[in-house]
Amino acid sequence: MFEALSDKLSGVFDGLRARGSLNESDVTEALREVRVALLDADVALPVVRDFIAKVRERAVGAEVLDSVTPGQQVVKIVNDVMIEALGGEGAVPINLAAAAPVPILMVGLQGSGKTTTSGKLALRLKDKQKRRVLLASLDTQRPAAQLQLAQLADQAGVPSLPIIAGQTPVQIANRAMDVGRREGFDVVILDTAGRLSIDEELMEEVRQVRAATSPAETLLVVDAMTGQDAVNTAKAFNDALSITGIVLTRMDGDARGGAALSMRAITGAPIKLIGVGEKQDALEDFHPERVTGRILGMGDIVGLVERATETIDQAEAEKLAARMMKGKFDLEDYAAQLRQIGKMGNLTSMLEMLPGMGKFKQQLAGADLDTKVFKRQAAIISSMTVKERRTPDIIKANRKKRIAAGSGTSVQDVNRLLKQFDDMSAIMKKMGKLGQKGLMRQGLGALMPKGMQMPGNNRRPF
| Separation of alpha carbons 121 and 376, rounded Å | 32
- The CA R_g of the chain, rounded to the nearest whole Å, is 26
**What length is written for the chain?**
462
What average pLDDT does range 255-281 have in this prediction? 83
- Comparing 272-286, 315-329, 387-401, the range with the smallest average pLDDT is 315-329
Rounded Cα distance, 321 and 305, in Å: 17
Could you report the per-residue pLDDT of 376-415, keeping only the tens digit for each?
888 999 999 999 988 888 999 999 999 999 999 999 999 9
Q: What are phi and psi of 131, to 5 degrees?
A: -100, 145
Whether the full predicted model's pTM is greater than 0.95, yes or no, is no
Tell me how far the alpha carbon of residue 242 is from its chain's centroid: 27
| Identity at 351, one-letter amino acid code | L
At position 431, the amino acid (one-letter code) is M
The pLDDT, as a whole number, for residue 94 is 92
Confidence of residue 431 (pLDDT cuts 50, 70, 90): low
What whole-number distance in Å separates Cα of residue 435 and Cα of residue 441? 10
Residue 361 half-sphere exposure toward CB, CA atoms < 13 A: 16
Q: State the pairing for strand pair 283-285/271-275.
A: antiparallel
Spatial distance between the Cα atoms of 426 and 432, rounded to a whole number of angstroms: 10
DSSP lists the bridge partners of residue 137 as 191
In this predicted structure, the answer to whether residue 458 has a pLDDT above a threshold of 50 is no
Average pLDDT of the residues in 252-273? 80
> Do the Cβ atoms of 30 and 16 come closer than 8 Å?
yes
C-alpha span between 113 and 275 (Å, rounded): 9
Rounded to whole angstroms, the Cα distance separating 138 from 176 reads: 10
Lowest mean per-residue pLDDT among 246-250, 311-315, 320-324: 311-315
Query: Collapsing DSSP states into helix, strand and coil, what is residue 222?
Result: strand
Do the Cβ atoms of 189 and 106 come closer than 8 Å? yes
Helix axes 411-442, 397-407, angle to 10 degrees: 100
d(C-alpha 203, C-alpha 220), whole Å: 12
Alpha carbon of residue 84 to chain centroid: 20
Supply the mean pLDDT for the chain.
Answer: 79
* Burial 403-424, CB ≥16 within 10 A → b, else e: bbeebebeeebbebbbeebeee
Start-to-end CA span in the chain (Å): 21
Asked if pLDDT for residue 443 goes beyond 50, the answer is no
Phi, psi of 249 (to 5 degrees): -95, 165
8 Å CB contact between 339 and 375: no
Nearest-angstrom CA–CA distance, 74 and 59 = 6
Q: Residue 423: pLDDT band by 50, 70, 90 thresholds? A: confident
Nearest by Cα to 153 from 183, 112, 187: 187
Asked if residue 360 has pLDDT above 60, the reply is no
Q: What is the 3-state secondary structure (H, E, C) of 86-115?
A: HCCCCCCCCCCCCCCCEEEEEECCCCCCHH
Closest CA to 333 of 409, 325, 370: 325
Q: What is the pLDDT of residues 9-33, one digit of tens each?
A: 878 877 777 776 777 888 888 888 9
Closest CA to 124 of 158, 91, 98: 158
